[in-house]
């Protein structure tokens, strides 16, 4: 739902690791209400690409990423990673038309007596040394649009001091950062700023180019798949959209206090079926229906919807495996724990189907809008890459 990711949101505080930057203008406007992450799971290394929609002044951009292991490299990500995964895993929309007849029994329901099937299609988704602070600068450099510093820290106060002295306002995230430092698995940090020549962001925000972090085992010797959701719990945006993609040997399952309802019915490979009468714009109807499902799943239980699972070949890395997509719309305040992911041996395919019903006249015109919607999403993606 790329278009929805670009809609305007009000200025707010930290979200998903974004923190305000202290500037001479006193502007503290870091915010994100939409984040994506793509995990590639290897035998000795995890590669995760992050993509966020950013609201605020570009020269105030600051991002602190908690990494559950030893950072191997920080690199420019690839838009194709997300565009290809989004296209392959997007919910399928089916339209069903019926004659405009008052005596018509439409048989609403899975397997009902529907008059005709218009077929399925995709719904596009759219440094410096640490000194005596107990902080070690492990590396620094540039990755695409970003300037980064890799840090390890033995002391939470020292890390807070290091970040604060360099303009990262972590006042709302200090307790979370302290918890990461105290965690025995051994987190490292990637502190990120936009390069100085990127002076401003468009009104309504922009999807920033992806950032890739590759990391190895943590202090406990294990590879951890973790999305730092609790870094966004202090956000003042009313709702956060998360899309997580995991490429591994089997279905990715959330843990750490996060859940995912089963979406395979009767052992089949088709998941949730939603029904709504077409009221005008088919894309709007389908998107609204899917968002309603995500809000119901997210709720107060920190739920993630398994939107898709299936065989996949990553066009960027060439890695093959099972791609799992997990979606949610959630109140940031209940993101009190990180999303801990594990890869199971389950390779059962899963998908999401949204079925819309309406009269023949009502369903014909909206089909044209799908092409326009896809072209708009592709155009925005090209604009972001420039």
Which two three-digit tokens encode residue 4?
Answer: 């929805």
pLDDT at 312: 98
> Nearest CA to 258 among 334, 321, 190?
334
**Are the beta carbons of 70 and 188 closer than 8 angstroms?**
yes
Q: Using CA atoms, how far apart are residues 232 and 153, in angstroms rounded to an integer?
A: 21
The torsion region of residue 131 among left (phi > 0), alpha (psi -120 to 50) and beta comes to left
pLDDT at 219: 94
- The whole-number pLDDT of residue 272 equals 56
Give the integer Cα–Cα distance in Å for 126 and 365: 21
Query: pLDDT tens digits, the chain, 386 residues: what are they?
Result: 222 222 222 223 334 455 555 544 444 445 566 789 999 999 999 999 998 876 656 566 778 899 999 999 999 999 999 999 999 999 888 776 555 544 443 332 222 222 222 233 333 333 344 456 789 999 999 998 889 999 999 999 999 999 999 888 887 788 889 999 999 999 999 999 876 555 455 555 566 789 999 999 999 999 999 998 887 665 656 688 889 999 999 999 999 999 998 776 554 445 555 555 555 555 567 788 888 888 888 877 789 999 999 999 999 999 999 999 999 988 878 888 899 999 999 998 888 888 777 544 433 323 222 322 332 333 333 333 33
User: Tokens 């009104």 sit at which residue?
Assistant: 203
Helix axis angle for 79-89 and 366-385, nearest 10°, is: 160
SS (H, E, C) 185-247: CCCEEEEEEECCCCCCCCCCCEECCCEEEEECCCCCCCCCEEECHHHHCCCCCCCEEEEEEEE
pTM, entire model: 0.79
Q: What is the pLDDT of residue 174?
A: 86
Distances (CA, A) of 7 to 55, 171, 202, 204, 233: 10, 27, 12, 6, 21
Q: How many CA atoms lie within 13 A of 92 on its CB side?
A: 16
DSSP 288-338: HHHHHHHHHHHTTTTB-EEEEEEEEE-TTT--EEEEEEEEEEE-GGG--S-
142 vs 146: CA distance, rounded Å: 6
Residue 255, pLDDT score: 93
Helix locations, the chain, DSSP H:
2-5, 79-89, 156-165, 174-182, 282-298, 360-364, 366-385
What pLDDT, on the 0 to 100 scale, is given for residue 275?
A: 59
Please tell me the predicted confidence (pLDDT) of residue 88. Answer: 94
Q: Which residues, including other chains, have CB under 8 Å from residue 120's CB and lie 6 or more apart?
A: 92, 93, 94, 353
Instruction: For the sheet with 339-343, list strands across it.
Output: 225-227, 339-343, 252-255
pLDDT at residue 325, as a whole number:
96
Strand partners, 245: 38, 325
Tokens for 181, please give them: 């430092």
Q: Which residues contact 15 (CB under 8 A, 6 or more apart)?
A: 30, 31, 32, 33, 35, 231, 232, 235, 237, 240, 332
């Amino acid at each position: 739902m790329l278009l929805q990711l670009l809609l305007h949101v009000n200025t707010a505080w930290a979200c998903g690791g974004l923190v305000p930057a202290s500037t001479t203008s006193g502007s503290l406007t870091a915010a994100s209400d939409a984040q994506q992450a793509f995990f590639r799971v290897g035998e000795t290394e995890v590669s995760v690409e992050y993509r966020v929609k950013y609201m605020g002044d570009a020269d105030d951009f600051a991002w602190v990423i908690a990494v559950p292991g030893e950072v191997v490299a920080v690199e420019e990500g690839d838009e194709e990673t997300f565009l290809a995964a989004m296209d392959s895993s997007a919910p399928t929309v089916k339209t069903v038309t019926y004659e405009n007849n008052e005596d018509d029994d439409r048989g609403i329901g899975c397997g009902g007596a529907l008059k005709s099937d218009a077929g399925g299609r995709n719904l596009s988704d759219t440094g410096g040394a640490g000194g005596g602070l107990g902080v070690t600068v492990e590396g620094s450099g540039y990755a695409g649009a970003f300037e980064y510093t890799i840090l390890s820290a033995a002391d939470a106060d020292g890390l807070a001091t290091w970040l604060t002295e360099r303009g990262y306002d972590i006042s709302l995230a200090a307790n979370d950062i302290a918890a990461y430092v105290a965690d025995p698995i051994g987190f490292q940090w990637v502190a990120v700023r936009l390069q100085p020549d990127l002076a401003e962001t468009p009104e309504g925000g922009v999807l920033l180019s992806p950032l890739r972090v590759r990391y190895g085992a943590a202090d406990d010797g294990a590879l951890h798949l973790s999305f730092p959701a609790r870094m966004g719990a202090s956000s003042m945006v009313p709702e956060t959209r998360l899309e997580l993609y995991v490429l591994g040997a089997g279905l990715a399952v959330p843990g750490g206090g996060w859940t995912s309802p089963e979406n395979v019915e009767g052992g089949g490979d088709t998941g949730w079926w939603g029904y709504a009468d077409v009221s005008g714009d088919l894309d709007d109807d389908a998107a609204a229906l899917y968002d309603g499902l995500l809000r119901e799943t997210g709720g107060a239980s920190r739920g993630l919807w398994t939107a898709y699972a299936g065989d996949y070949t990553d066009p960027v890395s060439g890695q093959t495996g099972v791609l799992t997509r997990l979606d949610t719309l959630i109140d940031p305040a209940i993101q009190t724990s990180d999303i801990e992911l594990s890869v199971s041996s389950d390779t059962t395919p899963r998908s999401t189907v949204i079925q819309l019903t309406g009269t023949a006249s009502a369903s014909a015109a909206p089909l044209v809008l799908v092409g326009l919607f896809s072209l708009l999403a592709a155009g925005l993606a090209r604009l972001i890459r420039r």
